[in-house]
Structure 1
């Protein structure tokens, strides 16, 4: 028969839908503190947000064996086992509250967890709903599924005394017991009410994508497909499923459009692309929250049509931004050239702004001017001043949304509707840039080991005010040359080891040189290098010939001169 069903289910609905088995050949329980902490943080975030928003927990692939009629978990055993471990701690805590406070509701919750999700397990009964495989089965029954608290200080639980997967189960139980105990302590005297809210978040707002088949080969094909490249199911895959469900009568057209979008992206990660779009038009979303936001907002066939239309239009723009060598979406030559420069800076957080400008039909000349300001900001703030790009990702998204919403300035009241002009956007970008004083001071001491960044900066400095022989950016033809070389010999008497380490990667000690000259220069002394430099067609390299001696002072002075030029190349207008 093959595929039986594929659907999104609440964790509680999934666990309460019949017995589950872990195949004997599956690896044991392997989650450690990092994975447990992620699980807990996601749960607490839902609780603290106090909304009905859902959290995607992951996928579960089930094989329903025709021979014994049992349902085996092929993929997803770690998260399901973890959910049972947490439910055991919740069951224990509810029982403790029931006994100490004579709280019937808490007792009911403990019983519900027992009868719906874990099963009745005692010395005489083994009616658990999840049967572990291999060496974990009896340990899981005895210490997780059987009722009652664990003495975590008992020496029999020492790591050296347990099999690795058994210890991981014990540690997960101890981890959640500690988290829940601290959670309850903070909620006195309303510990039951708040613990119940947390419990409801777990069973009703953690969502699983379940795939069930009665063909074992198909189960493993699905498993391998969902875990391609070692990743969990991507947001883009979840979105595709959601879109196609909402497309209704337009299913065929929606599928065709989706496939066109993926083709246009030219191997760009669809999830990243969708997030760029989302942050250009909607409330800012981190990647982990993207599907939740999409699922909430895209709720009708009309929403699907608008989304797919915009994604199809922007997929070519995204390819032109991230693969500018191969994709020329824009007619303006200068804009395409600037995109090549942005690629060398490895910048992408600005993309929502370009998407918003494109969707609102700004001219290519305006887009180019805005991108020029963004390039300047990236050089001044990120490349030279070392500020963290993540902080500006939100700023860029807010600018983009303000363009899309026609509400300027960003974060203003929606009643103050205004389509920003190019100059409005430029003014905002300039306001985010570090001051001239900070930029020039940072440039004077700038150093980097990133060849692409070094080549970009030196090429821009060399080409400034040159109209004829400009450097082409070809890493195979033009190399970064260390004037003071990586390995020094007796010819470099002006530099001790400390100086060498300090000044080797300073921009003032670097220049650009053709490959054939670079190979010949290598570790030679400065006088011998100058004989090679004077044959170069690169102006900044030929200029070195007029310098008598190479010292720390020379490096500092040269870099200070570069800083003055940099202020004119990347101005804060």
Structure 2
């Protein structure tokens, strides 16, 4: 029972997203048979309502602290049950019900004892409807919460948004399996209206079981049960005091220097020489573009461990991961602590270069800028390996270009970027086994023909540029970067070089809301209905790269949906970009002209973003 004085359910997207990341990460480990560590979720304080045992009554306790987490667990289980129902996993539904409801005892008179959890009255009816009704029934009853097919973030009934988001996230996990991703949308796509025919009932069952096992077995709570004489308020305030949280690296540091003392090392000398630089405030700032949100120092350590081991490193259990690395099975990896600290000293300048704070190598600095633009940090373990002193500069530069090409080519081909963690973890393992080199990089991809990881060919890139929806590329800085690189590739060697302007917008040349100002290829104007073959063909090419360009913000707004002649005049008057000089000699802009420009972009792309054959 949640006491009356407790708040209503408060968890929003900022709380739900990391919770889902924790659960899905553990479920992925369960599926891979690689779950090494449990994850601590905080404390739960319980106060028995009646300390005396009563036969044939359901025992009741009050939740003094931890009701938000406990409620979230229950909402997740209810959502997991509904996804199981969607896939016809009836045995699984019965199993989950045992964690949501009790079997009433013979002397129970309170109907609420049927539920494992009873929230405060303000949340109670909604929460128990989630437990009692099917998803379809509940969505119908609470239809007023929806806007379209989603529940907006600003709805006060946060428990129902959590339930809805969990159903979508779980469905996506079941459909596609464990996938690592960066820079994704906060809003998952609706997945409940279709089932991927490529998955088997066995896949569905295994993935549902993995999620359940992650929640019940791999996420841990410390449970504090109060006695009659304990002051619940004092304990609550003590546990929820606003002390400065320890970083994983604080624990690592303590572990390292504790072992240094045992080795009779000069601890203060080692600290000042090798650790003190890592105490700079910059290292404690949140790492940009990295998930989950953690200080740079924690992410640096995780990337370093991945670079050294070639294994998947869980940043959520970073201290345990480091301890397992430094002293595997109780046997120290390093002869002395000084060698251990020198490893951190070796990688720190490379990481700072990738983050734009140092310049230990021009190729790594350039790669770091590109990774920042693309909001991708999963490459960092491989980039740290590339920072080794014995790697020739030309080899490092070629590897940096290949990594960038891989990211761009997959994006242009509309191939998933959700598995980049696994890809670059595997490349790090390949480099450990065969050395850091272009040959090892190419050798890795020569064994990877699957759609989730392969390196796209020139033919793939050409097809993607001419046919795929480039405007959907997200986050938007990625598309801007692609178009800017095509702008640079369009310039002659004699053209004046300039830096990328800070206020560029991506603009459709032929607008999305095209009308009579935009004739068809056959010259007809407005003679075709929206759904006929001409309109369908036009809409299919409208978002391809050949119909996109870069403009400054003001020019973008003033161009709007004007006809081609007016747009062309604007381009000529206000922009010096080579991308827009293309339109100077054009008298019209139809599907044919879009394809022609797309073909030109394809020629530039396969040259700018090199393939594995070096072309």
Common fold: TM-score over 0.5: yes
Distance 2:443 2:391 in 1: 17
Match of 1:521 in 2: 559
Q: Contact 2:58–2:113 (CA<8 Å) still a contact in 1?
A: no
Measure the CA separation in 1 of the matches of 2:555 and 2:130. Answer: 61
> Scaled by the length of structure 2, what TM-score is found?
0.56
The 2-side partners of 1:276 and 1:466 are apart by 40
User: Residues of 2 paired with 1:456 and 1:44: CA distance?
Assistant: 32
Against the structure 1 CA distance between its residues 24 and 48, is the aligned structure 2 distance closer, same or farther, given a 3 Å change threshold?
A: farther
Q: Distance in 2 between matches of 1:29 and 1:454?
A: 39
Which residue, out of 276, 291, 310, partners 1:257? 276
Residue of structure 2 in register with 1:506 after alignment:
544
After superposition, give the CA deviation of every residue in 1:199-243 in whole Å (9 maximum; x if it has no partner): xx979x958699xxx999998587354698xxxx76556545655
Tell me the distance in 1 between the aligned counterparts of 2:307 and 2:404.
Answer: 18
Query: 2:603 and 2:428 mapped to 1: Cα distance?
Result: 32
Residue 170 to residue 120, structure 1, CA distance change in 2 (3 Å): farther
Deviation at 1:372, TM superposition (A): 0.6
2:458 is aligned with 1:436: yes
Give matches, 1:63-462, under 5 Å.
Answer: 76-77=44-45, 121-122=53-54, 132-133=63-64, 150=104, 156-157=111-112, 163-164=118-119, 220=237, 223=240, 225=242, 235-236=248-249, 239=252, 242-243=255-256, 246-248=259-261, 254=271, 256-257=275-276, 259-260=278-279, 263-264=282-283, 267-268=286-287, 269-270=295-296, 271-282=298-309, 283-288=311-316, 290-299=318-327, 305-322=338-355, 324=356, 327-332=357-362, 335-359=364-388, 361-381=390-410, 383-403=411-431, 405=432, 407-408=433-434, 419-428=435-444, 432-446=454-468, 447-449=470-472, 450=474, 451-462=476-487
Structure 2, unaligned runs of 5 or more: 68-97, 132-212, 225-230, 288-294, 448-453, 521-525
1:466 and 2:492 are equivalent in the alignment:
yes
TM-score by length of 1: 0.60
Unaligned runs of at least 5 residues, structure 1: 1-21, 61-75, 85-117, 137-143, 173-197, 409-418
Asked if the contact 1:119–1:127 (Cα under 8 Å) also holds between the matched residues in 2, the reply is no
For residues 437 and 115 of structure 2, what CA distance do their matches in structure 1 show? Answer: 68
CA distance in 2, matches of 1:280, 1:37: 23
Superposed displacement of residue 340, structure 1: 2.0
For 2:305 and 2:116, the matched residues in 1 are separated by 51
Larger-Rg structure: 1
Alpha carbons of structure 1 residues 570 and 49: separation in structure 2 relative to 1, 3 Å: closer
Cα pair distance change 1:455/1:430, threshold 3 Å: farther
Cα separation, 2, equivalents of 1:552 and 1:50: 51
* Corresponding position of 2:40: 57
Contact 2:41–2:220 (Cα < 8 Å) also in 1:
no
Provide the C-alpha distance between the structure 2 equivalents of 1:506 and 1:319, rounded to a whole number of angstroms. 37
- Tell me which protein shows more helix as a share of its residues: 1
Q: Distance in 2 between matches of 1:222 and 1:258?
A: 33
Structure 1 distance, partners of 2:354, 2:589, is 41
Conserved? CA contact 2:364–2:387, under 8 Å: no
Aligned counterparts of 1:119 and 1:237: Cα–Cα separation in 2 = 41
Output one character per residue of 1:434-487: Cα deviation in whole Å (capped at 9) or x when no partner: 2222222112123224442222222222222632234532232x4333211355
Distance in 2, matches of 1:348 and 1:462, equals 26
Residue 601 of structure 2 aligns with which residue?
562
**Structure 1 Cα separation of the partners of residues 28 and 441 of structure 2:** 38
What is aligned with 1:483? 509
1:41 & 1:340 partners in 2: Cα distance?
Answer: 28
Post-superposition shift, 1:373? Answer: 0.6
* 1:16-27 matches, cutoff 5 A: 25-27=5-7
Corresponding residue for residue 142 of structure 2: none
Deviation at 1:317, TM superposition (A): 2.5
| Residues 33, 549 of structure 1: alpha-carbon distance in 2 compared, 3 angstrom cutoff | closer
Classify 1:315/1:389 alpha carbon distance in 2 versus 1 (closer, same or farther; 3 Å): farther
In 1, Cα distance between the equivalents of 2:479 and 2:27? 44
Against the structure 1 CA distance between its residues 390 and 511, is the aligned structure 2 distance closer, same or farther, given a 3 Å change threshold? closer
User: What CA distance in whole angstroms lies between the structure 1 residues aligned with 2:307 and 2:555?
Assistant: 47
**How much does 1:546 deviate?**
1.2
Residue 159 of structure 1: CA displacement?
A: 8.8
- Give the secondary-structure state (helix, strand or coil) at the position aligned to 1:534: helix
Offset from partner CA, 1:485-518 (integer Å, 9 cap, x none): 3554542344775567544432111122345644
- The alpha-carbon distance between structure 1 residues 356 and 28, as it changes in their structure 2 partners (threshold 3 A), is same
- The alpha-carbon deviation at position 355 of structure 1 amounts to 0.8
Return the offset for 1:376.
0.7
Shift in alpha-carbon separation, 1:55–1:338, aligned structure 2, 3 A: closer
Counterpart CA distance in 2 for 1:277 and 1:266 is: 18
Q: How much is the aligned-residue C-alpha RMSD, in angstroms?
A: 5.3
